[in-house]
Amino acid sequence: MSLLEINGLKLSIGAAEILHDVSLSVDAGQITAVIGESGSGKSMTAYCVNQLLPRGSVAEGQVQFNCQNMLALDEPSLCNIRGKDIGMVFQEPMTALNPVQTIGAQVAETVLIHGAASKPEALKIARDTLNRVGLPEAQFPLSRYPHELSGGQRQRVVIAMAIALRPKLLIADEPTTALDVTTQSQIMDLLKRLVQEDGMGLLLISHDLGVVADVADHIVIMRKGKVVEQGATQHIFKHMQHPYTKALFEASSHKPDRKAKPLDAPILEVKNLIRDYALPRKSLFGPAPKFRAVNDVSFCLKKGESLGLVGESGCGKSTLTRAILGLEAIQGGSISINGVEVKAGHTVPRTLRRNMQVVFQDPYGSFNPRHKVARLVSEPFHLLDDAPTGAARKAAISEALEAVGMQAADADKYIHEFSGGQRQRIAIARALIIKPELIILDEAVSALDVSIRAQILDLLAALSDKLGLSYLFISHDLSVVRAITDRVMVMKSGVIVEEGPTEAIFQTPQHEYTRALLAAAPSLEDLMQ
Amino acid sequence: MKRAFKMPGFSIGFIMAFTFTAAALVSFFWTPFGTDGVDIVNKLHTPDGTNWFGTDHLGRDIFSMIMVGARTSIAVAVVAVGIGVLLGVPLGLAAAARKGSLLDEFIMRGNDLVFAFPALLIAILITAVFGPSAINAIIAIGIFNIPVFARLTRAGALSLWTRDFVLAARVSGKSRVRISFEHILPNITNLLIVQGTIQFSLGILAEAALSYIGLGAQPPIPSWGRMLADSQTMVSFAPHLALFPGLAIVLTVLGLNLMGDALRDLFDPKLRRDRQ
C-alpha cells in the first residue's frame, strides 16, 4: 500500500462543491506532482491531507496516510501527525516565517512542539537541518532573522522547518512560484535531493508544467475539482489522452503569430540612463549614500518592434520602466521619444507621455475598486487636451473594450465582476484608448494561468499587427519573452549584459549570466522530444 | 448598511445614539417644560408622572434639560469632528502624496507637537484666554482632532500610493492632488468613518468634562457636564440629579463606541474572517 492514498475524495465548502471524486497516491521516495490552473482544487486536495481546511468544509471519501484515515482522526491526533509525519512548504517565503523570531528558533520549534528532544538537542537538530538544506553555519548562524535572508534562502528555512523531524510525507504548495528562475531550479534540486536522502514522499502542487516535469515521478492533472489524467511522467508526456492535458501542454509553449515587421524609425531611444536612489543617511551631516539601480543603460526600440527585457527581481527593470514613463526623475543620460529628447533633470512633457502607456503585472491591484470600468478605461484621456466627451467618449470606450475582446456593455460594471484574464484585457484596453505607439508590458502575463496567458499573448500579437504598436516586454519568464519578442535584452544589477535578436540570444547566449538563466529555465520542449 | 444592522453591536449602538440625536432634534420644537424658567416651589422633586426624571434645585424639569443638553453635546462633537476631518484629512493626504519631503516632515512634526500637549489642558488654556463658551470648547476639541485624522489619513494613503492603480493614474498624467482626491480618498473613507464615530464619542466626553469645570456652554444653556457639576453638592439627598445626566453621557458614548467597533469589524476583512 502507498504512503498516501486518496480515494474518491469529495469536498464541499458551504454550498460550493470544490472537489469531485479525486483519487491519487504518493509512494515513499517518490514525487507526485499535482498540476492545474487556479480554481482547479489542487491546493484544497493538499489541505485535505493534513486537514487544514477552512471552516464549513465537509470532506468525504478516503484519505489514507500511513494506513490511517485522516478524515476520521480527531484534532489532537492530527496535531500529532502534522509537522511530525507530514511536513508542509508554502508558496510565499516572505510571509511563511515569523519576522521577530530567529531562524534557529523557528526550525527548533517544530522539534520542541512534538516533544522529540530537549531544547539544546532541538537546536542541534535545527543546525543539522539547516546545513542539509544548504544554509551552512558559517554564513547562516541560528541567530539570523528572516529579513536578513533572500527569498530563496527563506524558502530553504521553510523547507528546513518542514523536514526537521524527517516526516514521511512532504507537501509543497507552489514552493517556487514566488522565486526567480535560477533560485527556482536550486530549490527544486534541493527538494529532489531530500526526497532521495530521506525516502519521503513528496506531494508537489504547481501550476507550471515546466517546473515539475524534470523532477516528478508521477503527474496528476486537475481541472475544476476533477482529476482529468494521471500517470507516470514519461508516459503522460508521450501518450497524453485527455484534450485538456493536450491544451495545457500547448498553452505552456504557445507561440503567437506575428506578422508585422519593425520599421527603422526609432520610437524610444534611451542613452546612458542613470537612476540613483538615496539610501538612509548614515550620519547627520554629509550627503546620503546612493544606490545605483540603473547604471548607464542605452537601447533603442523601433516602431512596430517588440523588445524584451529579461532579468531577475531587483535587477532594476521596474525602475527603468518608471524612468521611461516619466514617473521618476533620472540622474543622468536621456530618453528620446519619437525623436524628442528629454535630458536628466527635465520632466517628460505631456505631449510625449501620450505616446506611451503601461500594463502592470497584478490584474487585481491595477484598478481602483470603487470606479466603474468606463471610468477606469477612460482615465488616460486626461493626457489629451481635446479628450472626447459625451457620445464620442462612450464610443471610444466601447471601441477599446471591443478591441481587446470584451463587450461594450462591460463599461457599466465594476472591476470585481471580472476574472484575472478579463481584468488584464481591460488593462490593455485602458492602455489602448489614447492610441499610443508604445506599450510597456511590465510582467503583464506573469500572474495569469497558462491558457489565459496564451490568449493574452495572441491578443497582443494581433494588436501590434493591426495598430503597429511597439512593445517593451518586461518579464522574468523566458519562454514568454521568447514567444513574443523580436529582440531581447538581459539585465543584471542595473546593467544590460547582453542584447540581440531573440532567437540568437536563446540559441547562442554569449554572457555567462544569460547562459545561467537559460539553463535554469524549465523547458518543456526538451521533454516532449 | 444592511450587513451593519445584522451585527448586534451596531444595532444596539445605533439605537442608543439615535435616541439622543432624536431627543436633541425634538427639543427644538417641544420639551415637556421650559428649561430657562425658575420654579422654586417645585424644586428637587423625585421622578414622578409629571416630571419624569424629577426637577433640580431651581425647579427645572430634568428630562427637558437632558433633551436640550443633548443638543449642546452633539453640536460640539459634530463641529469638533468636522474641524478634525476638514483640516486633518487634506493635511494627511498632502503628507502622503509628498512622502519624505519637507512638507511631509513639517505636517507630521506639527502633528507631533499638537499631540504632545494634553488635550484638556490646552482647552482650559484657550477658554482661559478667550473666555468660557461653547464655541471656544468646540475649537479646543476640534484642534485636537486634526492630528488624529491627519495621521490616520497619511497611514492609509501611504499604502495606497504603492498600488498599481495609482501608478496607472500617474501614467495618465494626473497630478498628485487629483489622484489624492480621486483614487486615495474614496479608498480610505472606511477608516475615516470608523475613526469619526470614535472621535465623536470622545468629543462628547470632552465637552462634558469642560462643562463640568465651567469652561463649556454657559448658563442658562443646559449642558450634561454642568448638570453633573451642579448636582455635586446635593447628591446625598437627591441622587437623581446626578444619575440622569450621567446615564445620558455614558449611554451616548457607549452607543457610539459600539457602532465604531462594529463598523471597524465590518470594514476590516481580516477581523471579518475570524468572526465567521
On whether residue B231 sits in a domain, the answer given is yes
pLDDT for position A527? 59
Whether residue A468 has pLDDT greater than 50: yes
Average pLDDT of A113-118?
A: 82
pLDDT for position A94? 77
Average pLDDT of A381-400?
A: 88
| CB of A430 less than 8 A from some CB of B | yes
What is the Cα B154 distance to its own chain's centre? 21
User: Which of B:81-120 have CB within 8 Å of A?
Assistant: none
- Can you name the CATH fold of A266-522? Rossmann fold (3.40.50)
| CB of B38 less than 8 A from some CB of A | no
Q: Reduced to 3 states, what is the DSSP secondary structure of residue A227?
A: strand
Which residue from B167, B173, B187 is facing A353, i.e. has the nearest CB?
B173
CATH number 3.40.50.880 given to A4-252 = no
Residue type, B152: L
On whether residue B79 sits in a domain, the answer given is yes
A266-522 and A4-252 share a CATH fold: yes
Average pLDDT of B191-203?
A: 88
pLDDT band at B24 (very low <50, low <70, confident <90, very high): confident
Contacts of B172 in chain A (CB under 8 A): 379-383
pLDDT for position B268? 64
Gap between the Cα atoms of A514 and A508, Å rounded = 10
| CB of B187 less than 8 A from some CB of A | yes
Task: Indicate yes or no: CB of A366 within 8 angstroms of CB of B183.
Answer: no
Domain limits, chain A: 4-252, 266-522
The ipTM of this complex is 0.74
Picking from B15-29, B30-44, B119-133, which range would have the lowest pLDDT averaged per residue?
B30-44
Average pLDDT of A221-230?
A: 89
Contacts of B168 in chain A (CB under 8 A): 358, 360, 366-367, 379, 427, 430
Which residue from B167, B173, B276 is facing A382, i.e. has the nearest CB?
B173
On whether residue B48 sits in a domain, the answer given is no
Whether residue B85 has pLDDT greater than 90: yes
| CB of B162 less than 8 A from some CB of A | no
pLDDT band at B1 (very low <50, low <70, confident <90, very high): low
DSSP summary character for residue A115: T
pLDDT in tens, A125-143: 999 999 988 888 888 888 8
Place of cell 546545513: A131
| CB of A473 less than 8 A from some CB of B | no
Helix, strand, coil % (nearest 5) of chain A? 40, 25, 35
DSSP summary character for residue B180: I
Apex A97 CA angle, A96 and A100, nearest 5: 145
pLDDT for position B87? 94
CATH number at residue B131: 1.10.3720.10
Residue A61 region by backbone torsions, left for phi larger than 0, else alpha for psi between -120 and 50, else beta: left
Whether residue B216 has pLDDT greater than 80: no
pLDDT for position A235? 86
**Greater pLDDT, B50 or B23:** B23
pLDDT for position B141? 85
pLDDT in tens, A89-100: 888 877 888 888
Whether residue A85 has pLDDT greater than 60: yes
Task: Indicate yes or no: CB of B169 within 8 angstroms of CB of A361.
Answer: no
Task: Indicate yes or no: CB of B167 within 8 angstroms of CB of A358.
Answer: yes
Task: Indicate yes or no: CB of A369 within 8 angstroms of CB of B174.
Answer: no
Measured in angstroms, the CA of B24 and the nearest CA of chain A are apart by 35
pLDDT band at A245 (very low <50, low <70, confident <90, very high): confident
Give the highest mean pLDDT range of A31-35, A175-179, A385-389: A31-35
Q: What percent of chain A has pLDDT over 70?
A: 98
Q: What percent of chain A has pLDDT over 90?
A: 13
CA quadruple A204, A207, A212, A216: dihedral sign: positive
Whether residue B119 has pLDDT greater than 60: yes
Whether residue B276 has pLDDT greater than 60: no
Instruction: Report the domain count for chain B.
Output: 1
What's the pTM value of the predicted model, to 2 decimals?
A: 0.79
Task: Indicate yes or no: CB of B183 within 8 angstroms of CB of A368.
Answer: yes
Task: Indicate yes or no: CB of B187 within 8 angstroms of CB of A368.
Answer: yes
Task: Indicate yes or no: CB of A380 within 8 angstroms of CB of B276.
Answer: no
Whether residue B154 has pLDDT greater than 90: yes
Measured in angstroms, the CA of A90 and the nearest CA of chain B are apart by 20
On whether residue B32 sits in a domain, the answer given is no
Residue span of the structural domain in which B260 resides: 2-27+65-275
Give the highest mean pLDDT range of A175-184, A520-529, B80-89, B249-258: B80-89
Measured in angstroms, the CA of B170 and the nearest CA of chain A are apart by 7
Task: Indicate yes or no: CB of B167 within 8 angstroms of CB of A370.
Answer: no
8 A C-beta contact, residue A286 and residue A318:
no
pLDDT band at A430 (very low <50, low <70, confident <90, very high): very high
Task: Indicate yes or no: CB of B186 within 8 angstroms of CB of A365.
Answer: no
pLDDT for position A526? 61
Measured in angstroms, the CA of A154 and the nearest CA of chain B are apart by 24
Residue type, A278: A
pLDDT in tens, A334-366: 888 888 888 887 888 888 888 889 998 888 888
| CB of B274 less than 8 A from some CB of A | no
Task: Indicate yes or no: CB of B165 within 8 angstroms of CB of A380.
Answer: no
